[in-house]
Amino acid sequence: MSEYHAPLRDMQFVLNELGYLDQVRELPGCNQLDAELVEAILGEAGKFAHGVLSPLNTQGDREGARWCDGEVSTVKGWREAYQRFIDGGWNALSCNPEFDGQGLPRVVSALVEEMWNGANLSFGLCPMLTRGAIEAIELRGSAYLKQTYLAKMISGEWTGTMNLTEPQAGSDLAAVRTRAEPVGDGTYRIKGQKIFITYGEHDLTENIVHLVLARTPDAPAGVKGISLFVVPKFLVHSDGSLGARNDVRCASIEHKLGIHASPTAVLAFGDHEGALGWLVGEENRGLEYMFIMMNAARFSVGVEGVGLSERAYQRARAYAHERIQGSEIGAVERSNVAIIRHPDVRRMLLSMKSRTEAMRALACAVAAAMDCAERHLDPAVRQESQALVDLMIPVVKGWSTENAVDIASLGIQIHGGMGFIEETGAAQHLRDARITTLYEGTTGIQAADLIGRKIARDGGKAIGQLSKQIYRVMEELAWTDDPQLQANASALARALVALNASVEFIVSHFATQPARVAAGAVPFLELLGIVAGGWQMARSALVAHRQLKAGSDDQDFYRGKLLTARFYADQLLAQVESLSRVVVQGADAVLQMDDQQF
Amino acid sequence: MSEYHAPLRDMQFVLNELGYLDQVRELPGCNQLDAELVEAILGEAGKFAHGVLSPLNTQGDREGARWCDGEVSTVKGWREAYQRFIDGGWNALSCNPEFDGQGLPRVVSALVEEMWNGANLSFGLCPMLTRGAIEAIELRGSAYLKQTYLAKMISGEWTGTMNLTEPQAGSDLAAVRTRAEPVGDGTYRIKGQKIFITYGEHDLTENIVHLVLARTPDAPAGVKGISLFVVPKFLVHSDGSLGARNDVRCASIEHKLGIHASPTAVLAFGDHEGALGWLVGEENRGLEYMFIMMNAARFSVGVEGVGLSERAYQRARAYAHERIQGSEIGAVERSNVAIIRHPDVRRMLLSMKSRTEAMRALACAVAAAMDCAERHLDPAVRQESQALVDLMIPVVKGWSTENAVDIASLGIQIHGGMGFIEETGAAQHLRDARITTLYEGTTGIQAADLIGRKIARDGGKAIGQLSKQIYRVMEELAWTDDPQLQANASALARALVALNASVEFIVSHFATQPARVAAGAVPFLELLGIVAGGWQMARSALVAHRQLKAGSDDQDFYRGKLLTARFYADQLLAQVESLSRVVVQGADAVLQMDDQQF
């Protein structure tokens, strides 16, 4: 069984050579983060991912989390791994130092997260959800909530969850029905059912802190009447010790296509007296607070896509090197070769590799912007960075996860018939990846957010800025003396024209023909993902070109990078014009079909 | 649990209105096949698929076939269903009437097969493999083999298998090692291990007839030294009764991503004295015979893709009609609607529907050509039809199955988070579909066959003929008075230009730069599939246009057909130019990467 290896060389390339570490090192609290320290952190994380999390991944898939009488047992080995995880301080990596977090910038912690996801997505989900809950309490919780929960959640002693979905309220949270009755002493009694709660119940820690959307009695209808509550599994005494069991119960866990080891709980709040809950922030502003967590979680799910893609690529690459089958095309004498010699296998591997590297670099670009948006001293830079973050989160989420599904499927394809056999391991990656385009907002929801709130609302300003940035990189490529890079520049230039045409269509039609624009929202998200990935691959090609000119002795890496960028330009950027045509002209039939004609 | 419904209206449209039934009714033995008789057959098959096979599909997935001590138990209910299947005469539908088959043309039996696959792929595989074995014995078997096996296999009393793969011999059958030692009395002793044998062992029938590739002692190396043998599970006395157990044993069955109810066997031949086998045809021509079966099987796997796509579409459509979530975009007042009102859901449904209908019509076009190639009185028509069949089998196989994987995945996506829950049923379709791009030759193998044997070898003649046929349909569209159809014509015309450019590249470079052409083989297969599907959608649009002009009262169907064709032109044909660019210009990086740079 081949285990996951953290792609340290490429991660270092993105941080150090694409300049994202330098970008955040200017920020307050980050000046001690030199390349060596980051390399040490990534190296240790890589060891943990490889040695502890990856070996549990297959077993987690086969055994799965188990429900019995309201209790959930995680897979054998999970508790020990979790203990080592929090003992190592990994849970606190990006958290606030004020509460014993390590305060690492997002651009570094995102790469560490990529490792957890690549090695064992079912495991990685637990700290990911905890982090979201931490952020909500930290940003909007009362002093009592912060003092009671933050330190234990940051250390990982307790975990956190996000309780949004109900059977009738999935993408549409306006339909949330869970009720919260004020007790009179500032607390509330919560009653209702929540579904799809990741790690909603488990045996890893002695307490679980649920963040729950619910309605107070006089709340307005719809999204403006939803409040956010902290509902712990066990009540907490003022000295921090655990008190009575709260009235929240795990009614069952789901039987899913993938991420079997991650328990997905149905939670029943208030079967008896009502679960005690504490309001976060103000009443009726719960959705706003939830979206703080949600945006962070969406970015993290995008990073899941990167990690799973890397994992699927590593497995397929190893198989392609090992598996001997057939002779080389055009060879004069028949001799059996490893299948990596077959052009179609190479095409599939390059498709996996080039997209994975583009997604990784793009996620880091956005993570660095998150850091700048949070910490930069210049408010103008903060604002500009936040605009990029807002624009690109749906793309990082939607594009990286759609890619991950396709890349995991290609990973199976490279294995031939063996790919369909569960013991091979390739199939699990597809089953696991398949959730990522669904949770934390489907790709359709990301795309609707992208065209509406992120592009039409500011009249295309933020995306115009991005487009200019990409244009400058394209010019740099075009000015090199290398015909290959010039060809990349042409592909990127054509792609930019197609992007700009799509944006113009969206901005000019969103108000008057919103359904027509919405019909092309997902193709547009894919288009923007490909162009933004192309921007990062173009930057990578420029760096590789300079390194090779300067006589770097890491020839294989940089030549591979150049060719990967070339492939991306030839085969990914080539799709952009078709996508643009679909965005601009593809909606007629979508809008004209009557429901009964389907 | 919603069950599969045979899409009878669209099947009748393809047979009667696209003219494929008329095409085969001219053939000897087919003149009694009027539309009513065919409608009755399809109606009965549809009932069987809906009422018997579909209800077993979920249970088959959950329970799976089970191995114990060399015996395999099929899922509860499977034996009864199989008995009803053969009692109903369904096994013999397309078989030779000389051996009590019903001699139905392929164009009809393919649609019936689509139903078995749509309702329950794991079940449908058993008769599919039996039919392949029947064809090999019928075409190349001795009188003894025909007399001993054919009637019982055609009735379904015994089943058949295809034994090609060995651990070291997957796509590359030259590596087959199983040995066949002549006994001296005309029989052989077979020794070796075969893997991935669909229904290689089961409890549905009292005998199983294995068709096995093996090498005789003095056989030349490579593909020219492979012979084909009949190896029954139980030997057969001259009176047809069963004799001793042959020396073939099921060592295990595979634990797979999907098609759980279809046992995939590891078969050990000759652990003791050697399994008795009978040569089919001449020694060393086994691969040639196997390819007769293989081509038929490849077509059938393409039809599996159609059936699974239809199934996934039906389930997603039903959910989209039922699930209430969110309000309609652009609506003045907020009111919750079924998700089929959301443009992105409609886009996904139309993508599923349009490709499924295009694949079905294309499969029938090829099936009708198979019938003409076999039965037409004019040798010139036979030859021309065979050329189309040879050209299009890799496309029907490769394109329909790649689509099926994507369509099943879209089916999950339409269900949102519910799609990831196994009980919903959508996930099984993806897991089942995932095998279809792998077995009977991966998509890469289909594409290699397409560019090499089917296009380069005849200098592009057969595809040139097809291209002309499509051109004529495009002209018909352009000559209508309908701007929508004229727009479809433009899209098809552009697609034809892109197709022809790709073909020219393949034909002119295959001899001198085979690796460069091979790097674009799969994108080219996709391109050709889209254009060929567009040909069928264009024909469909013409028929629908005429019907609407003539005042047909089936307005919804024909308007739906027109809009489906429009969507196909706007969103599928739109991809062809990008694919052509990839075929012609996309290979540089694929060829230049060193193995260690991956």
Interface membership of A453 toward B (CB under 8 Å): no
Assign domain B156-284 one CATH number from 2.40.110.20, 3.40.50.10490, 2.40.160.40, 3.50.40.10: 2.40.110.20
Q: Do A598 and B560 touch (CB under 8 A)?
A: yes
What is the model's pLDDT at position A318?
98
Per-residue confidence at A31, pLDDT binned at 50, 70, 90?
A: confident
CA distance readout (Å), A107 to A22, A102, A531: 11, 14, 21
Alpha-carbon distance of B413 to A441, in angstroms, equals 11
The model's pLDDT over A152-179, given as tens digits with 9 standing for 90+, comes to: 999 999 999 999 999 999 989 999 999 9
Q: Are B65 and B255 in contact (CB under 8 A)?
A: no
Backbone φ and ψ for B437, nearest 5 degrees, come out as -85, 0
Among the listed residues A55, A38, A11, A2, the one whose alpha carbon sits nearest the alpha carbon of residue A306? A11
CA nearest A76: which of A87, A68, A64? Answer: A64
Contact assessment for residue B492 and residue B548, using Cβ atoms and an 8 Å cutoff: no
User: CATH says A158-285 is which class?
Assistant: mainly beta
The radius of gyration of chain B's CA atoms, rounded to the nearest angstrom, is 24
pLDDT band with cut points at 50, 70 and 90 for residue A94: confident
In sequence order, what are the residues at sequence separation of 6 or more whose Cβ sits closer than 8 angstroms to the Cβ of residue B21? B15, B33, B35, B38, B107, B108
pLDDT at A90 over 70: yes
**Residues B136-172 pLDDT 10s:** 999 999 999 999 999 999 999 999 999 999 999 998 9
Share of chain A above pLDDT 70, in %: 100
pLDDT surpasses 90 at B46: yes
Q: Hey, what are B24's tokens?
A: 């085969």
| pLDDT higher than threshold 60 for residue B1 | no
pLDDT digits (tens, 9 = 90+) for B78-92: 999 999 999 999 998
**b/e string for A505-524 if b means 16 or more Cβ within 10 A?**
bbbebbeebbbbbbbbbbbb
Model confidence at A582: pLDDT above 70: yes
Residues of B whose CB is below 8 A from A347: 519, 522, 590
B423 to A326: CB separation less than 8 angstroms, yes or no: no
Q: How far is CA B197 from CA B81, B118, B213, in A?
A: 22, 22, 12
What's the mean pLDDT in B396-407? 98
In angstroms, the separation between the Cα of residue A182 and the nearest Cα of chain B is: 29
Flag whether pLDDT at A1 surpasses 60: no
Contact A448, B423 (CB under 8 A): no
| Residues B306-319 pLDDT 10s | 999 999 999 999 99
Per the residue annotation, which of B113, B283, B440, B526 is the catalytic one? B440
Active site residue B254: no
* Dihedral sign for Cα atoms in the order B430, B431, B437, B439: negative
Amino acid making up residue A582: V
Nearest CA in chain A to B334: A222
Looking at the complex, does the CB of residue A386 fall below 8 Å from at least one CB of chain B? no
- Give chain B positions within 8 Å (CB) of A405: 409
Q: What is the pLDDT of residues A515-528, one digit of tens each?
A: 999 999 999 999 99
Report yes or no: A512 at the B interface, CB cutoff 8 Å: no
Q: Do A256 and B421 touch (CB under 8 A)?
A: yes
CB contact under 8 A, A257 and B430: yes
Q: What is the pLDDT of residue B270?
A: 97
The CA-CA-CA angle for residues B467, B471, B475, to 5°, reads: 175
Averaged pLDDT, A493-517: 98
Cβ atoms A210, A232 nearer than 8 A: yes
**Are the C-beta atoms of residues B149 and B141 closer than 8 Å to each other?**
yes
Distance CA A65, CA A67 (A): 7
Residue A39: pLDDT band by 50, 70, 90 thresholds? Answer: very high
**Average pLDDT score over residue span A115-121:** 98
Are B87 and B74 in contact by the 8 Å Cβ rule? The answer is: no
CA atoms lying within 13 Å on the CB side of residue B224: 2
Question: What whole-number distance in Å separates Cα of residue A76 and Cα of residue A501?
Answer: 54
Contacting residues of A for B416, CB less than 8 Å apart: 170-171, 438, 442
Per-window interface: B 195-234 vs A, CB < 8 A: 196, 222
Tokens, residue B312: 């996934």
CB B358 within 8 A of CB B567: no
Using the beta-carbon criterion (under 8 Å), do B257 and A430 form an inter-chain contact?
A: yes
User: In the structure encoding, which two tokens stand for residue B137, read together?
Assistant: 């014995």
Type of residue numbered A290: M
Average pLDDT over residues B560-579: 98
Query: What are the DSSP calls for B162-224, one per residue?
Result: EE--BTTBSS-GGG---EEEE-SSSEEEEEEEEEEEETSS-SSSS-EEEEEEEB-TTPPSGGG
| Residue owning tokens 């060399």 | B70
Q: Is A560–B590 a contact, with Cβ atoms under 8 angstroms apart?
A: no
Contact A574, A567 (CB under 8 A): no
A273 confidence band (pLDDT: 50, 70, 90): very high
- % helix, strand, coil for chain A, step of 5: 65, 15, 25
| ipTM of model | 0.98
Tokens representing B294 are 């293989």
B276 pairs with which residues across the strands? B189
Residue A242 — φ and ψ, nearest 5°?
-85, 140
Question: Which residue from A349, A354, A395 is spatially nearest to A488, judged by alpha carbons?
Answer: A354
* Amino acid present at A12: Q
Q: Which of residues 255-284 of A touch B (CB under 8 A)?
A: 255-258
| Helix A106-140 × helix A35-48 angle, to 10° | 80
Q: Are B444 and B523 in contact (CB under 8 A)?
A: no
Kindly indicate the confidence band of residue A69, based on its pLDDT and cuts at 50, 70 and 90: very high
Q: Do B420 and A438 touch (CB under 8 A)?
A: yes
Contact residues, B window 290-319, toward A, CB-based 8 Å cutoff: 317
- Other CB atoms within 10 A of residue B380 CB: 8
Return the axis-axis angle of helices B286-322 and B106-140, rounded to nearest 10°: 160
